[in-house]
Structure 1
Amino acid sequence: MADGSAPRFDSDTEAQGLIDYVDASPTPFHACEQAAARLEAEGFVRLDEREPFPTAPGAHLLLRGGSLIAWDTRGTHAAGAGPAAGFRVVGAHTDSPNLRLKPHADHVKAGWQMLAVEPYGGLILNSWLDRDLGLAGRVAVRTADGVTTRLFHDRDPLLRVAQLAIHLDRTQNDELSLNRQQHMVPLWGLGEAPGDVTAYLAEQVGAEREDVLSYDVMTHPVQPSARIGLERELVAAPRLDNLATSYAGTRALLRAAASEPAHVPVLVLFDHEEIGSTSERGATSTLLPSVLERIVTAGGGTREDYWRALAATVIASGDMAHATHPNYADRHEPMHRIAMNGGPVLKVNTNLRYATDAVGAAAFRLACEQAGVPVQTFVTRSDLPCGSTVGPVTSSLTGATTVDFGAPMLSMHSARELCGAHDVPMYVAALAAFLDPR
């Protein structure tokens, strides 16, 4: 649908579903809880990673901080595929660039109460200026039963990173230079004494101030996501990179659940992709390989069966893709134009910043063909550096055939991004077909 016309899919339902998911997911922790709630509503059972996996076939999920993995063995069991059945894995990430509170956040300057923040990931700094910001995250609280973590999401406009008036810097329209330490500190009130962010957090999570032990707290724009454009064919929202894939993957797994493929459909949503994936819950962690192995052994398989299953596995690593920008068309590869509302995008890089090879690309093209959606191919200009995602990492950890893909968007890493409303149902349909090939 390169001309922007609507495909035959239900764009209104899926675009609104994406908007609802994004607006309820200001942090990776919320994104995982939102995905888990949708899966649990359809019969998936949450597991504790510290407990043995069930041996009976079923649909399960577990969370590790801001990461989630979910799978369904009912179909492979019904199909008699056995414990060495391969996996079809859709991977995405839950984190997005933002401003995160420092441990000692409260301070005062020139009569202003302010909160010290640290930029996370490769954010576009100027896109955070003069936006109304809320706070959300998780708080570690002391209780009678030990330490627990509690989530909160304050949608009220609390903070603002104020831009300097043009009268005080006449050059900023020509060359804006922002210092991350000096110029990106949000205002949070007036006064000569610091505020008390710990007391604020205690109130948010229903705890006593002295019981707040630590926190992972992030700012987020409070402006709701919206359909925009003359025909409302676009979605403007924060965190589309990569919550659009997290949403589509969750919807796709629900479509594929309990069918009878000769493999196990899996969804994995990683945290910390924007900063290199190196954490206990990032793509370089044990999360994916350990859970895949436990699925095999819980089904009665051996370690030999596990390695056989990996050899039969295909991973689709989803991260958003750059649509061709009309104001900066020269920054794109001229032979690979990417259109908004033009369908999913295969991402290819010969230096393996993306993991796609011919075999993986073929698997994804067949999925799009099965779903009845067009497919586009992204290659970056040869004289520009290329981004990366979790695909090369998961490929190297598992040895599985892996393909990198995305949905087209503009303003990637801005505080407010843009994607196509008609791309959302095509994205869901393609991933559902990938998880359940016919």
Structure 2
Amino acid sequence: MKNEILYLRKNGWEKYDSKGINEIFDYGKDYIEFLKNSKTERLTLQYLKKLAEKKGYSEDGKEKFYLINKGKNIAFVNLGNVSPLKGIKLIGSHSDAPRIDIKQNPLYEKEGIAHFKTHYYGGIKKYHYLARPLSLYGVVIRKDGKRIDISVGDKEGDPVFTINDLLPHLSKTQYERNLKEAFEGEKLNIIVGSIPLKREKENPVKKMILKILNEKYGIVEEDFISSELEIVPQGSVFEVGFDRSFVGGYGHDDRICSFTSTTALFNAKNRYTVCSVLFDKEEVGSTGATGARSLFLEDLVIEILKRKEIKPTYENIREVLKNSDFISADVSAGIDPDFQEVHEKQNGAKIGYGVVITKFTGSGGKSGANDANAEYLFKIKEIFNKNDVTWQTAELGKVDAGGGGTIAGFLAFYNANVIDCGPALLGMHSPFELVSKVDLFETFKAYRSFYESKE
């Protein structure tokens, strides 16, 4: 009787035998390989597109296809037997992650050292990026119109980059400042070289860097203006712990949801039309033509209707969207034993206890929250229960401890059912986030069961 009337969270590992644990670890290996090769939103798109093509997806596919928007958004679609006018099942994640961007006029020389000026992107703790090896990724469009892909720092033999920190011996004033003010955004400048170009008196080190870039890539200084260059933590992705139960690396938020939602789609036996959509710009408010606030979702619905030979009228587009079920796939904050005070533990996410259903995000008095309705919450948890998914419910920390948002509110704009759902992380937004392998796997199972649901 006790177990029937109480809500009891369950440790996800306990239900698995050795065969099941091997399956979890095998899936973890696939995820590690993905994350190692997906350090930017563009690389994430390219990696998953290649996986999809191996599964029979193409841009002009009849039943399975993908739709790309400006090289940063991608939607993967399995058309179903049920008319899309009765609704579709869509999981939206975001493929951007907190990082440091290179400014459009970045290169300068001071005291014999060349640097790139930067502007951080998303919610970072600035000190996380100091005194550590960093890699450079991105694209440059040269004066001749040719696109150049840049990747420096993670291949064997590559140089790396860094942002210098102040030595502790001279940090008296820095120590007296609060944490937010101690590290200035305008001082997050990347060291790129120090050898002067011979016979040059003015900015010889800067000119040497430009010479190197011109010889290697054909780049001139003006080309930086038409570039997107990102500084990310250098290094690989690792199994963590003696038992190898964690995956540690950069970019779990939110590429873990991009991976699980897309691989779940590849494995789904669906009746409804199902979609995995990767959005950009979530970490800066989902703005821009590739963010969740754009009309890309409407473009996707139009494409689905066309391929089902249904006229994409305004009324039909609205009919699809208002009858649809969506998941905003994003990570949650796991309870860290060393920082328990920021969580109300009865409503906090426990590591290893499965995928997290989040009714609302936002901050303070639910400011900016989607706040899913009770009927949809019931529907989602029933789907998970029927498919042996280990799940829990949680919110993002104590009421007045801070907060955060997702794309849920922008998806709900279309009058669809939307709820947040994803795995819990430790060290969210840091250069080395942690996720439990069982939570990773339960997230995959949750998304697959959502795609396969018959209602």
For residue 153 of structure 1, the aligned residue among 151, 154, 170 is 151
Q: Which residue of 2 aligns with 1:301?
A: 310
Q: State the secondary structure of the residue aligned to 2:192.
A: strand
Q: Which has more helix, going by share of residues?
A: 2
CA contact (8 A) 1:356 1:402 kept: yes
**2-structure distance, mates of 1:3, 1:427:** 14
**Which residue number corresponds to residue 190 of structure 1?**
194
Deviation larger for 322-331 or 56-65? 56-65
Q: Distance in 1 between matches of 2:210 and 2:297?
A: 35
Task: Note the C-alpha offset of 1:289.
Answer: 1.6
What residue is the counterpart of 1:180 in the other structure?
185
Question: Alpha-carbon deviations, 1:81-100, whole Å to 9, x = none?
Answer: 23524110010001111111
Give the direction of change, closer, same or farther, for the CA distance of 1:117–1:435 in structure 2 (3 Å limit).
same
Show the counterpart of 1:82: 83
CA root-mean-square deviation: 2.4
CA distance in 2, matches of 1:309, 1:95: 27
Note the C-alpha offset of 1:293: 2.4
Question: Bigger radius of gyration, 1 or 2?
Answer: 2
Q: What pairs with 1:357-396 in structure 2 (closer than 5 Å)?
A: 357-379=373-395, 380-396=397-413
Alignment CA distance shift 1:291-1:186 (3 Å): same
Residue 59 of structure 1: aligned partner? 65
- Secondary structure (helix, strand or coil) at the match of 2:375 reads helix
* Letter matched to residue 322 of structure 1: A
Aligned partner of 1:94 in structure 2 is: 95
**Aligned-residue offset at 1:364:** 2.5
Q: Secondary structure at the match of 1:289?
A: helix
- Alpha-carbon separation, structure 2, partners of 1:207 and 1:111: 24
Pair 1:332-2:305 in alignment: no
Q: 1:31 aligns with which of 40, 44, 48?
A: 44
**How far apart, CA to CA, are the structure 1 residues paired with 2:433 and 2:222?**
37
Q: How far 1:351 moved relative to its partner?
A: 4.8
Provide the C-alpha distance between the structure 1 equivalents of 2:168 and 2:28, rounded to a whole number of angstroms: 38
Q: Which residue in the other structure is 2:25 paired with?
A: 12
* Counterpart-to-counterpart distance in 2, 1:202 and 1:102: 19
For each residue in 1:50-80, what CA deviation from the matched residue of structure 2 results, as whole angstroms up to 9, or x when unmatched? xxxx7x544333243321111111xx2xx3x
1:235 paired residue number: 247
| Unaligned ranges ≥5, structure 2 | 1-8, 196-203, 361-365
Q: Provide the residue aligned with 1:50 in structure 2.
A: none
CA distance in 2, matches of 1:239, 1:249: 16
Letter in 2 for 1:41: K
Per the normalisation by structure 2, the TM-score is 0.85
Are the structure 2 counterparts of residues 109 and 210 from structure 1 closer, same or farther at C-alpha, using a change threshold of 3 Å? closer
Pairwise CA distance, 1:157: 3.9
The answer to whether the 8 A contact 2:12-2:354 is kept is no
Q: Hey, what's the Cα distance between the residues in 2 that align with 1:317 and 1:434? A: 12
Other-structure match for 1:424: 440
- Out of 128-137 and 171-180, give the one that drifted further: 171-180
Q: What are the Cα deviations for residues 178-230 of structure 1, in whole angstroms up to 9, with x where unaligned?
A: 01102x112122145215666666666x5565994721000111221101112
**Is residue 424 of structure 2 the alignment partner of residue 408 of structure 1?**
yes
C-alpha deviations, 1:147-188, integer Å up to 9, x for none? Answer: 453433222342111221111114766854101102x11212
Q: Aligned in 2, Cα 1:172/1:421: closer, same or farther, shift over 3 Å? A: farther
Number of corresponding residues:
417
* Structure 1 residue matching 2:412: 3-state secondary structure: helix
Structure 1 ranges of 4+ moved more than 4 A: 1-4, 170-176, 195-204, 206-213
What secondary structure does 2:55 align onto? coil
* SS of corresponding position for 1:134: strand
2:267 corresponds to which residue? 255
What SS is found at the alignment partner of 2:147?
A: strand
2:405 counterpart SS class: coil
| Matched-pair contact (CA < 8 Å) for 2:425–2:433 | yes
